[in-house]
């Protein structure tokens, strides 16, 4: 496996951002002057030749609020500042559900040399966009909660599509609300915006913004300089076409097929530059990503089947944002050294504590030799369980040999890869094994079962699959138990989505279990559905019926027992956590001597002092102990794979409605 990386800063914002209950997109407000000063032009002399902006918007009537009437007048007033560019109306109605109110108008700014050929929203082509909104300002209290949330979701979704369909570091927006406006800069850390301005009274602000923007380089406008478009007729374009006909072994032909799909007609092709360990720049060709992580804020992960230009072979390329090396450098280096130790089967030396520094994001690319298949392409339930057990085995090796916790167990980080194995009769056959990848977010274990760095807690994991303890901040440092809980959620996610069971309302369960959250005292925490599932140790649909996977004939599906067993372990874990929290509350409430006596005894004795039944205490403690190491869960899954009576055709396809508009729910 070869790993290459390239990094560049993502944002000029160094002061804290804030997020609202209505939106998970982080925003920060700055002055117009600061905003404009961070838009450097090619030459400082150009700024001395700015035009006179006075009366630039005189054609716009005072009090005009209609977006449909306002946008042509606004664009005509501005276009003189944007030599070499033109505005183009964007039809966005296909990007959102039919019940969304379509009174807003979106206009993209394009190079005159590369205009769109229709009214579709060409998010990969426009340099920036102007959004005209009727009504109040969504960044103030002028708009009510539901409408405000809805518009902010729409606005950030536009930024997400623009960032996701082209290789960008950031993108600019002008939000126009009648005769008021805001300037916005979006990136993977959130949004930076100016306060609301009256642009007819102060035309010099918008005038200078568009004047500067039209005179900035592509990179300063937000385009990634390490990603270059591959144009038809070029040598690289022909190489990509030729690779679609490359002969591969039958087991690996899915790689060629996926690459062929990624460069279908209409898909932009790119050459991506990646720097290897010897500081040599390597180049890779990609089309449409196989997988993208939803959401604007965060890693923005995109996975590709790529072509190594030099070797003309297929590789896997992952493009994402991560925390800066100057912040995480010691931890990342130590983690890499720990992984090197696995090869020799030895334990690495201990690492120092991780410092708590302000978070910064850098752009990062990882290239891997193995091109796996998504976990969603498993063929049967037993294959799904087998692949997940392989990933748990890899996790166990990392913990034992390298003292490393993965920290981001999620569907996108678990792949299937074909291997040839010999059976007892000596015949070779192929089987799918599990690959656990994306170890760049892992953390060293500084004490038994616990990862280093309290500041890393908020950064580890994909939110839908992280443990309840991390969501509730019940643990200061990630543990093995947290990773194992995430493995369980991945199993639930794919089983409910693809296997036979006793309900058709998969969408409601997925939204309620994986995407809901609680919000109290200014903090987000675990959603009600996931919390109650653990408390009662039962997985249920939204109508309170228990989830039952359908077996073959009179045989129950083995998954039912697996799910029930692991839920009992999780229930035990959180009963232990609740008890420990209760001890802390006793100590802080003045009963110090009692708390001290309790803390000096074993857990079962403490439960007895608290008048909790001894049998239940011992039962919960024993159940929780199964999550102290990987072995118990690995053995549970492997025994089920080798001995249980599995149905042959239990996968029924994707039962999650593709046209469902999922939004985060607050309990």
- Residue range 469-484, pLDDT digits in tens: 999 886 668 899 999 9
> Residue 537 has what pLDDT?
96
How far apart, in whole angstroms, are the C-alpha atoms of residue 457 and residue 470?
7
* Top-confidence residue, 350 or 411: 411
Mean predicted confidence (pLDDT) in 107-136: 85
SS in 3 state form for 562-607? HHHHHHHHHHHHHHHHHHHHHHHHHHHCCCHHHHHHHHCCCHHHHH
Hey, what are 430's tokens?
């192929």
Of 175, 166, 173, nearest to 143 by C-alpha is 175
> Residue 103 has what pLDDT?
66
> Residue 243 has what pLDDT?
97
**Cβ–Cβ < 8 Å for 5, 645:** no
Helix (H, G, I), strand (E, B) or coil at 142: coil
Mean pLDDT of the chain: 81
pLDDT tens figures, 24-77 = 557 888 999 999 998 988 765 666 678 889 889 999 988 777 888 999 999 999
State whether 524 and 383 are in the same domain: yes
Task: Answer yes or no: is 2 within a domain.
Answer: no
* Top-confidence residue, 355 or 68: 68
> Residue 5 has what pLDDT?
36
Task: Answer yes or no: is 50 within a domain.
Answer: yes
Order of all β-strands in the sheet with 665-666 = 523-526, 516-520, 665-666
> Residue 135 has what pLDDT?
79
- Got the DSSP string for 363-390? EEEEEES--PEEGGG--SHHHHHHHHHH
Task: Answer yes or no: is 583 within a domain.
Answer: yes
**Cβ–Cβ < 8 Å for 433, 417:** yes
Mean predicted confidence (pLDDT) in 119-139: 83
> Residue 361 has what pLDDT?
79
State whether 310 and 413 are in the same domain: no
Task: Answer yes or no: is 119 within a domain.
Answer: yes
Strands (DSSP E) found in 99-254: 105-111, 128-132, 171-177, 180-187, 190-194, 197-198, 227-229
> Residue 300 has what pLDDT?
87
The last residue of a domain, from among 356, 371, 386: 371
> Residue 171 has what pLDDT?
95
Helix (H, G, I), strand (E, B) or coil at 394: helix
Q: CA-based angle 215:216:219, to the nearest 5?
A: 155
**Cβ–Cβ < 8 Å for 302, 318:** yes
The last residue of a domain, from among 347, 371, 395: 371
* Top-confidence residue, 177 or 120: 177
Give CA separation, 378 vs 375, 417, 433, in Å.
6, 11, 11
Confidence bin at 600 (pLDDT 50/70/90): low
Mean predicted confidence (pLDDT) in 189-195: 90
Task: Answer yes or no: is 502 within a domain.
Answer: yes
State whether 650 and 505 are in the same domain: yes
**Cβ–Cβ < 8 Å for 57, 77:** yes
CATH code for the domain in which residue 122 is found: 3.90.1570
Task: Answer yes or no: is 11 within a domain.
Answer: no
Sign of the dihedral through C-alpha 481, 633, 630, 488: negative
Bridge partners of residue 463, in order along the sequence = none
State whether 353 and 401 are in the same domain: no
Residue in the block written with tokens 């409408």 = 147
Which of 144-148, 525-529, 658-662 comes out lowest in average pLDDT?
Answer: 658-662
* Top-confidence residue, 2 or 643: 643
Mean predicted confidence (pLDDT) in 120-134: 84
State whether 155 and 237 are in the same domain: no
Question: For residue 65, with 0-12 CB atoms within 10 Å meaning exposed, 13-18 middle and 19 or more buried, which class applies?
Answer: middle
Task: Answer yes or no: is 13 within a domain.
Answer: no
How far apart, in whole angstroms, are the C-alpha atoms of residue 502 and residue 2?
45
**Cβ–Cβ < 8 Å for 613, 628:** no
Mean predicted confidence (pLDDT) in 212-229: 94
The last residue of a domain, from among 221, 256, 290: 221
* Top-confidence residue, 453 or 77: 77
Strands (DSSP E) found in 91-138: 105-111, 128-132
Q: Quick one: angle between helices 558-588 and 381-397, nearest 10?
A: 40
Confidence bin at 445 (pLDDT 50/70/90): confident
State whether 283 and 429 are in the same domain: no
Hey, what are 519's tokens?
């919000």
Q: How many domains does the chain have?
A: 3
* Top-confidence residue, 440 or 626: 626
- pTM, rounded to two decimals: 0.78
State whether 232 and 355 are in the same domain: yes
Q: How many H-runs (helices) and E-runs (strands) does the chain carry?
A: 19, 25
Return the DSSP state at 493.
H
Return the DSSP state at 96.
S
Asked if pLDDT for residue 342 goes beyond 90, the answer is: no
Which of 3-7, 102-106, 245-249, 632-636 comes out lowest in average pLDDT?
Answer: 3-7
> Residue 324 has what pLDDT?
66
Hey, what are 57's tokens?
């918007």
Asked if pLDDT for residue 343 goes beyond 50, the answer is: no
State whether 386 and 262 are in the same domain: no
**Cβ–Cβ < 8 Å for 404, 392:** no
Pairing of strands 450-451, 313-323: unpaired
Q: CA-based angle 101:104:107, to the nearest 5?
A: 140
State whether 155 and 257 are in the same domain: no
Pairing of strands 128-132, 105-111: antiparallel
> Residue 149 has what pLDDT?
77
State whether 249 and 306 are in the same domain: yes
State whether 202 and 271 are in the same domain: no
Mean predicted confidence (pLDDT) in 447-470: 70
> Residue 591 has what pLDDT?
52
Asked if pLDDT for residue 543 goes beyond 70, the answer is: yes
How far apart, in whole angstroms, are the C-alpha atoms of residue 590 and residue 30?
46
Mean predicted confidence (pLDDT) in 107-118: 87
Mean predicted confidence (pLDDT) in 623-632: 96
Enumerate residues 6+ apart whose C-beta is below 8 A from 631: 396
* Top-confidence residue, 22 or 163: 163
pLDDT tens figures, 269-288 = 999 999 887 889 999 999 99
Q: CA-based angle 5:124:245, to the nearest 5?
A: 70
Give CA separation, 373 vs 100, 110, 379, 483, 641, in Å.
36, 37, 12, 22, 21
Task: Answer yes or no: is 321 within a domain.
Answer: yes
Residue in the block written with tokens 């692949």 = 387
**Cβ–Cβ < 8 Å for 354, 333:** no
Which of 147-161, 345-359, 484-498, 571-585 comes out lowest in average pLDDT?
Answer: 345-359
SS in 3 state form for 202-227? CHHHHHHHHHHHCCCCHHHHCECCCE
Asked if pLDDT for residue 459 goes beyond 60, the answer is: no
Mean predicted confidence (pLDDT) in 398-411: 92
Asked if pLDDT for residue 354 goes beyond 50, the answer is: no
**According to DSSP H, which parts of 275-375 are helical?**
325-344
> Residue 333 has what pLDDT?
46
Residue in the block written with tokens 């058709």 = 504
pLDDT tens figures, 19-37 = 333 345 578 889 999 999 9
State whether 185 and 281 are in the same domain: no
Asked if pLDDT for residue 405 goes beyond 90, the answer is: yes
Which of 24-28, 141-145, 405-409, 591-595 comes out lowest in average pLDDT?
Answer: 591-595
**Cβ–Cβ < 8 Å for 452, 354:** yes
Confidence bin at 443 (pLDDT 50/70/90): confident
**Cβ–Cβ < 8 Å for 456, 443:** yes
Bridge partners of residue 45, in order along the sequence = none
How far apart, in whole angstroms, are the C-alpha atoms of residue 510 and residue 489?
11
Mean predicted confidence (pLDDT) in 203-208: 94
**Cβ–Cβ < 8 Å for 82, 210:** yes
How far apart, in whole angstroms, are the C-alpha atoms of residue 598 and residue 585?
12
Report the range out of 41-50, 136-145, 463-472, 575-584 with the highest average pLDDT. 463-472
> Residue 20 has what pLDDT?
35
- Structural domain including 211 reads 18-221
Which of 157-166, 473-482, 571-580 comes out lowest in average pLDDT?
Answer: 473-482
């Amino acid at each position: 496996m070869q790993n290459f990386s390239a990094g560049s800063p993502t944002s000029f914002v160094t002061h804290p951002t804030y997020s609202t209950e209505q939106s998970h997109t982080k925003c920060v407000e700055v002055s117009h002057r600061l905003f404009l000063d961070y838009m450097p032009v090619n030459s400082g002399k150009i700024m001395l030749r700015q035009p006179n902006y006075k009366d630039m918007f005189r054609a716009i009537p005072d009090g005009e609020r209609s977006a449909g009437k306002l946008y042509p007048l606004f664009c005509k007033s501005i276009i003189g500042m944007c030599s070499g560019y033109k505005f183009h109306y964007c039809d966005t109605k296909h990007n959102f559900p039919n019940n969304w109110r379509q009174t807003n108008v979106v206009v993209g700014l394009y190079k005159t040399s590369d205009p769109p050929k229709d009214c579709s929203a060409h998010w990969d082509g426009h340099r920036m966009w102007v959004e005209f909104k009727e009504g109040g300002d969504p960044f103030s209290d002028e708009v009510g909660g539901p409408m405000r949330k809805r518009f902010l979701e729409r606005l950030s979704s536009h930024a997400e599509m623009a960032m996701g369909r082209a290789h960008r570091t950031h993108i600019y927006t002008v939000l126009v609300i009648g005769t008021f406006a805001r300037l916005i800069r979006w990136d993977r850390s959130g949004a930076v915006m100016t306060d609301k301005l009256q642009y007819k009274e102060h035309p010099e602000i918008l005038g200078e913004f568009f004047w500067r923007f039209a005179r900035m380089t592509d990179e300063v406008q937000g385009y990634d300089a390490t990603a270059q478009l591959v144009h038809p007729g070029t040598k690289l374009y022909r190489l990509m076409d030729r690779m679609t006909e490359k002969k591969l072994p039958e087991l690996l032909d899915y790689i060629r097929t996926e690459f062929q799909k990624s460069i279908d007609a209409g898909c932009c092709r790119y050459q991506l530059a990646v720097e290897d360990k010897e500081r040599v720049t390597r180049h890779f060709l990609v089309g449409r990503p196989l997988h993208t992580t939803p959401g604007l804020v965060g890693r923005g992960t995109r996975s590709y089947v790529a072509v190594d230009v030099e070797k003309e072979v297929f590789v896997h390329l992952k493009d994402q944002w991560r925390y800066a090396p100057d912040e995480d450098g010691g931890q990342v280096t130590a983690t890499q050294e720990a992984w090197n130790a696995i090869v020799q089967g030895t334990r690495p030396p201990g690492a120092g504590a991780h410092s708590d520094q302000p978070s910064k994001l850098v752009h990062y690319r990882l290239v891997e030799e193995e091109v796996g298949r998504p976990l969603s392409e498993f063929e049967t339930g037993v294959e799904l369980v087998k692949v997940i057990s392989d990933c748990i085995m890899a996790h166990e090796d990392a913990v034992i040999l390298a003292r490393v916790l993965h920290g981001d167990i999620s569907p996108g980080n678990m792949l299937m890869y074909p291997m040839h194995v010999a059976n007892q009769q000596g015949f070779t056959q192929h089987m799918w094994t599990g690959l656990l990848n994306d170890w760049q977010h892992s953390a060293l274990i500084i004490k038994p079962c616990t990862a280093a760095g309290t500041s890393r807690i908020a950064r580890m994991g994909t939110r839908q699959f992280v443990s309840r303890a991390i969501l509730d901040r019940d643990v200061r440092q990630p543990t093995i138990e947290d990773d194992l809980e995430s493995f369980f959620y991945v199993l639930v996610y794919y089983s409910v989505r693809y296997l036979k069971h006793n309900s058709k309302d998969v969408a409601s369960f997925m939204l309620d279990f994986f995407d809901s959250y609680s919000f109290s005292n200014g903090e987000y925490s675990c959603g009600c559905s996931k919390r109650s599932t653990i408390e009662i140790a039962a997985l249920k649909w939204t109508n309170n019926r228990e989830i039952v996977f359908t077996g073959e004939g009179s045989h129950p599906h083995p998954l039912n027992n697996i799910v029930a067993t692991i839920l009992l372990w999780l229930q035990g874990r959180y009963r232990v956590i609740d008890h420990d929290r209760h001890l802390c509350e006793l100590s802080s409430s003045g009963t110090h001597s009692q708390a001290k006596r309790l803390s000096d005894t074993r857990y079962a004795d403490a439960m007895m002092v608290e008048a909790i039944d001894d049998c239940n205490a011992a039962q919960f403690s024993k159940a929780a102990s199964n999550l102290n190491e990987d072995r118990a869960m690995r053995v549970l899954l492997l025994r089920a794979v080798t001995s249980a009576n599995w149905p042959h055709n239990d996968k029924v396809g994707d039962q999650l409605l593709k046209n469902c508009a999922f939004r985060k729910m607050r309990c």
